Amino acid sequence: MTMNQTKIVIIGGGFAAAKCARTLRTKLSPNDCHILLFSKENHMVFHPLLADVAGASLHPDSAAATLRQMLPGVECRTESIHLVDTSAAQIEYQNDQGQSERTNYDHLVLACGADSNLSVIPGMSDHAFPFKTMGDAVRLRMHIIQQLEKAEASGSPERRKFYLSFVIIGGGFSGVELAGEINDLVRESARFYRNFAEDDIKIILVHSGNQVLPEVSPSLRDFALKKMKKVGVEVLLNTKAAAATTEGVGLPDGSLIRAATVVCTIGTTPERIVQRLDVRKERGRIVTDADMRVTGLQNVWAVGDCAYIPNAFNNEPCPPTAQFAERQGRQAAANIVRVLRGEPTRPFYFKQLGQLCSIGGRRAVAEMFGLRISGFFAWFLWRGVYLLKLPSWSRRIKVGLDWGSDLIFPRDLGTLRMGEAQQLAGAYYRPGDFIYRQGEPANFFYAIEEGEVEVLRSTEGNQDSAAFAFLGPGDFCGEAALLQDPLYEVSIRARSVVRVKAMSRNIFSGLAGTMAPSRGILVELVKRRSQALWQHFPASKEALSKEPLSSFLEPLPSRTLKPESTLDQALAMLNANDLGFLFILDDQQRLFGVLSAIDIANALVLIVATPVDSRRDASKVQVRELLSADPVTISSDDSSLLAATTMLEHGLSCLPVVAGKNDYHLQGFVQAEKITYWQLQKLGKETLTGAPAAVVRDDEKIQRRTAGSA
């Protein structure tokens, strides 16, 4: 770069950025202007063709074009920008050594698009495929084909149907195109498999509105809907997805659409650099003046999906589409050239040419130049238009050949194995969902992050599987099977909304094998749990499962604490009661926590151990600070067996009883001693010898779960 060259920096490598860079290069000589383009990937993704990639009718590299090859004369850098400093006219990125580096600009064009946002629906980020990048499309395609293979290998008709069910969330262009492509891929490929037929396949499009494709005219929407149904896509309108789990998609009424594949095509969020930029925004997008200059800044421009640009054609904000992004990129480049030449800029003006959407089954809907077309001709037009829109002849020929062969030959069902066994993934469950079932292959170890699960076990000849223990945040499950048994010995079912971290067998074995402390903890846990499974003490188990919990229920203590009560108040109250623990209730009398004598003693030791000048007064420490996790509770409709096992599992001598699974109003508590005494009376001493019931360790009178208690 020479001294008097203008430096124009572009952030982005999509439709808007590529068009802007190319237009600038054609209008400005390389001697006058240095164009530097930063993009996270080294290629531009042609989003309208992503559905074809996922549906295996197009090879991934046909729908992406390498930026440096398509933009001669532009310096292309594959680097992610993490900061824009408009006051210093600089951008910041991480270089290959991991250090922050800055470069300055005379003009900056922000064309960084938007990111997908799966956090709009609980569980989506754990269980649904996003659909935005080439990586997303390739992963989805492999996953779909793997489901066909699993269905082929499965001996259970129910599991087969599960593998062959695909839910697509969002009835906009990308959702409809994707549903069509998946439908074509799966149904056309069914003939190569012996173990299932087309009837086993389900493709479901879930859309919250009352019509799919809200962007096109009502008659075309109706056509699209009719044809989609005809080729086998089930469309659920006015249906909002409420959650995604390993089992499928939960709906607001509590029902579940079972499916092994969920794809989410809705939800976007601004890129991080846009979030961090201190300029005016509208729904997360950067507000620009009519000429696309960022409002309030002279030499910063914003185009494409990251920008909120008024269209002078109709005075409406531009929609986030490729058509608009491309035009904005071109017109912003022209305006920058005008500024450099001292000419007035022009407002963005664009009359949309039309809309095209493929709906599967070699059909499409199109609205172009005032004409509405649908069916095979529209589909042919759709392909023709996108072929011409591709950025280079090499892409056009590649895509043309792929599409040509797709008309003649079946789709490619090959998959690459990507080391899927090495995983640490989050998972989300709704109340009642099974995390795993007894007898299933033990492939994962789970750590509970949020919510409660119940442990169920059915014995031979007895399918009754009432919960006999439950686990909460900080607890884990799945370890016994992973250490000792290839199959899970119990079932684990969510009692409330549950989030877990699931660790594959390989990662788990590696950790347990190399980290001595974790191995020790696990061995101890497995020992305790295997004792607690009651199988050696059927009489004890039987008796407890029949005895109502109310038999053991102790009334609420007359005095309780509030979260803001202080340590000295807690100490005084503990002295006045002989239970060895205190309940903490919130303003609505719901259980907030349980404080044990040990917690109080620990807090006092900590105070005494602190140097005098920074030591806190016991009257200034609130009891809420002493609680490290939610209390373990049981609800009044749970069984005595569950209470006894839970105390044993957590090493508790007392368990608070609340009104219901989601109602934390405290009803009273049960004590291990009382259960033990009852068993002694009822079953005789010999039954209890070595029995797990309420033989709770005296040294652990801990009423509150801590991470260590598991």
Ligand X SMILES: Cc1cc2nc3c(=O)[nH]c(=O)nc-3n(C[C@H](O)[C@H](O)[C@H](O)COP(=O)(O)OP(=O)(O)OC[C@H]3O[C@@H](n4cnc5c(N)ncnc54)[C@H](O)[C@@H]3O)c2cc1C
Residues of this chain that interact with ligand X (CB under 6 A) are 11-17, 38-41, 47-48, 50, 80-81, 111-113, 131-132, 173-174, 271, 273, 304-305, 320-323, 325
Q: Which two tokens stand for residue 689?
A: 């010898």
What order of strands is seen across the sheet that includes strand 165-169? Answer: 129-130, 261-264, 165-169, 202-206, 233-236
Rounded least distance, CB 366 to ligand X, Å = 11
Q: Vertex 152, ends 147 and 153: CA angle to 5°?
A: 100
Rounded least distance, CB 407 to ligand X, Å = 21
Rounded least distance, CB 324 to ligand X, Å = 7
Which residues have a Cβ under 8 Å from the Cβ of 328 and sit 6 or more positions away? 16, 292, 303, 304, 307, 309, 318, 348, 350
Rounded least distance, CB 37 to ligand X, Å = 9
Number of H helices, E strands in the chain: 21, 41
HSE (side-chain half, CA atoms, 13 Å) at 330: 7
Report how far Cα 650 is from the mean position of its chain's Cα atoms: 30
Is residue 529 within a helix (H) or strand (E), and if so which, with residue range? helix 516-531
Is residue 175 within a helix (H) or strand (E), and if so which, with residue range? helix 173-189
Rounded least distance, CB 151 to ligand X, Å = 26
HSE (side-chain half, CA atoms, 13 Å) at 560: 22
**Quick one: 93 or 436, whose CB is closer to ligand X?**
93
Tell the residue number behind the tokens 């989003």, with chain if given: 47
Helices assigned H by DSSP within 362-504: 376-389, 393-408, 479-484
**Quick one: 308 or 537, whose CB is closer to ligand X?**
308
**Quick one: 18 or 522, whose CB is closer to ligand X?**
18
Rounded least distance, CB 405 to ligand X, Å = 22
Rounded least distance, CB 80 to ligand X, Å = 4
**Quick one: 388 or 612, whose CB is closer to ligand X?**
388
In total, the chain counts a number of residues equal to 710
CA pair distance 162, 164, nearest whole angstrom: 5
**Quick one: 148 or 365, whose CB is closer to ligand X?**
365
Rounded least distance, CB 320 to ligand X, Å = 5
Integer angstrom CA distances of residue 689 from 127, 565, 642? 47, 43, 20
**Quick one: 13 or 122, whose CB is closer to ligand X?**
13
- The DSSP letter of residue 554 is B
Burial class (CB in 10 A: 0-12, 13-18, 19+), 232: middle
What order of strands is seen across the sheet that includes strand 491-494? Answer: 434-436, 491-494, 453-456, 467-471
**Quick one: 82 or 615, whose CB is closer to ligand X?**
82
Rounded least distance, CB 263 to ligand X, Å = 10
**Quick one: 135 or 218, whose CB is closer to ligand X?**
135
**146-150 long-range CB contacts below 8 Å, 24 or more apart?**
146/415, 147/260, 147/261, 148/186, 148/189, 148/193, 148/413, 149/415, 150/260
Rounded least distance, CB 354 to ligand X, Å = 10
**Quick one: 92 or 554, whose CB is closer to ligand X?**
92
**Quick one: 360 or 593, whose CB is closer to ligand X?**
360
CA pair distance 192, 470, nearest whole angstrom: 45
**Of 327, 403, 323, residue with least CA distance to 367:** 323
Q: Which two tokens stand for residue 604?
A: 């006092």
Rounded least distance, CB 118 to ligand X, Å = 13
**Quick one: 90 or 706, whose CB is closer to ligand X?**
90
Rounded least distance, CB 184 to ligand X, Å = 16
Rounded least distance, CB 100 to ligand X, Å = 13
**Quick one: 369 or 409, whose CB is closer to ligand X?**
369
Other residues' Cβ atoms within 10 Å of the Cβ of residue 2? 7
**Quick one: 11 or 164, whose CB is closer to ligand X?**
11
